[in-house]
Amino acid sequence: MKHTTSILFCGLYLIAIATAGPATHAAENEPIKNVLMIVSDDLKASVLGCYGDPRCETPNIDRLAARGMLFRRAYCQGTWCLPSRKSFMYSKYQGTSLKTLGGFLQEHGYYSARVGKIFHMRVPGDIIDGTHGEDVEACWTERFNSAGREAHTPGDYACLNQNIFTDAPENRQSTRMPHRMFVTVQYDGSGDDQPDAKSAAKSIELLREHADQPFFLAVGFVRPHYPMVAPRNYFNQYPLSSIETPHVPENDLDDIPAAGLRGTRNGNNTIGQYPENQKRMWQGYYATVTFMDRQVGRILDELDRLGLANSTAIVFTSDHGYHLGEHTLWQKKNFHEEVTRVPLIISVPGIASGQTDAIVELVDIYPTVAELLGLAAPNDLDGVSLVSVLKDPTRSVRDSALSLDRIKSGWEFADRGDRWAYMRYVDGSEELYDMDSDPNQFRNLANLPEYAAHLEASRRRMDDKIKRHELKR
């Protein structure tokens, strides 16, 4: 079974890390003067090889993890692109701080560049148009977009919830269309014309141009965000016969409140009628993750070739995770673990590689970067520096992680503690999960009297954080 294989894979991976020893030694490295931040889009942590998936091929992200610190319990603040990206670029749960991360570093003499999607862009809309979306110009010395044809890429197009397969260029689901979330395109090509390949190429160019000055280079890849477009050979790596869709217990949704079932699921979307196409969704996701991973590798190779690896801190993460049929749910904007848990790898020359169970948040990236560069972070940030955890993976800097979602009638919150995951909606309904005994969150304990004490403790912990940070409700 996949679950057993994942456990075995994780064990072997940990042994490999332990026996390999530290990836770098302080005496061999220059002072940290550069930061490379790579952000994937809609990437769930659990799909990566270094996070335990035995099927998805991510050799380049895995090698970054082998030389850096892998955070097993990192959580996003926003559950979709726009708020999440604002949260880590401003280090704020809600609203903005006085300076973006890039603006702050510019004030201290850094060249700050964006390639691709860092702040929110409409995918596919802004990608097709080559436009800036919700980008903040003051964050960057220079900024570069990476355009692509997206669903209009010539090739074998599928709209999987409509069970449509064609190579015709007409009538493809694209910008602002209702079924665009279920589109894949397999095509015969090298991939060089794809947005992420263009972003990698531009990033390599900028590394060469700015190798002799302190830089902050933020590279935003759009895959595996829909439409899931990649050369055919990436799809061929994942034959449908090898794919297992997530196990969903009978009546799994019965104890989830209605507010927790907003959005797309098998019961309200025709994807539920096509089990084979659900496998094709996984195939497309795997294919585009592997394609994105290839672009990560190109940048890492160039960083090494230029001799910058010993002076550059690298951060790899995603804006949020993604549902691919878990609990019969699809996409994002949800408080369950598949959405809120994100990959976070931080590789710092002079700091040993490893893994940590410390609970951390995406808002922590900004103050971490500041401390790594020897700078005093602005005092209006919500995040905390993770440098102490990088140096000692047994350390903790917070007791829980907060995720937020705004709907028309107010704010909703989730609080992920060491053991208990708690969610509260505007209508007062709640979810509570024991992550030790139920890591897949199949049994909501919020309404069971024997868990009342744990529920109340989770409420208090969340309310304390909301009050401390003066968050809107």
For the stretch 143-183, pLDDT in tens is: 999 999 999 999 999 999 999 999 999 999 999 999 999 99
Portion of the chain with pLDDT greater than 90, in percent: 93
- Binned at pLDDT 50, 70 and 90, residue 30 comes out as confident
**Please, is 275 exposed, middle or buried when counting C-beta atoms within 10 Å of its C-beta (0-12, 13-18, 19+)?**
exposed
pLDDT digits 0-9 by tens, 312-342: 999 999 999 999 999 999 999 999 999 999 9
Domain regions of the chain by residue span: 34-148+190-389
Secondary element (H or E) of residue 330: strand 330-331
CA proximity to 246, closest of 262, 263, 266 = 266
Cβ contacts of 409 within 8 Å, gap of 6 or more: 426
Compute the distance between CA of residue 124 and CA of residue 227 in angstroms, rounded to an integer: 7
| CATH of 34-148+190-389 given 3.40.720.10, 3.30.1320.10, 3.30.565.10, 3.40.50.300 | 3.40.720.10
Q: What is the value of pTM for the model shown?
A: 0.94
The amino acid that residue 217 corresponds to is L
Report which residue type is found at 299.
Answer: I
Q: Please, what is the Cα angle at 186 between 180 and 191, to 5 degrees? A: 105
pLDDT at 23 over 60: no
- Please, what is the average pLDDT of the chain? 94
Q: What is the DSSP letter of 97?
A: -
Residue 35's pLDDT is: 98
- CA 418 remoteness from chain centre: 20
For 48, the token pair is: 């990566």
The residue behind tokens 């069970």 is 163
DSSP state of 467: H
State the pLDDT at residue 28. 52
Question: What's the CA gap between 94 and 78, in Å, rounded?
Answer: 9
Angstrom distance (rounded) from CA 393 to CA 279: 37
Residue 108: its pLDDT value, please?
A: 98
pLDDT band at 203 (very low <50, low <70, confident <90, very high): very high
Rounded distance, CA 468 to CA 382, Å?
Answer: 10
What are 456's two structure tokens?
Answer: 């109340």
pLDDT average, residue stretch 79-94 = 98
101 pLDDT higher than 50: yes
Residue 162 has a pLDDT of: 98
Strands 410-417 and 400-407: antiparallel
Please give the structure tokens belonging to residue 321: 């995770």
Q: Does the pLDDT at position 11 exceed 90?
A: no
Closest CA to 318 of 179, 420, 223: 223
- Give the per-residue pLDDT at 29: 60
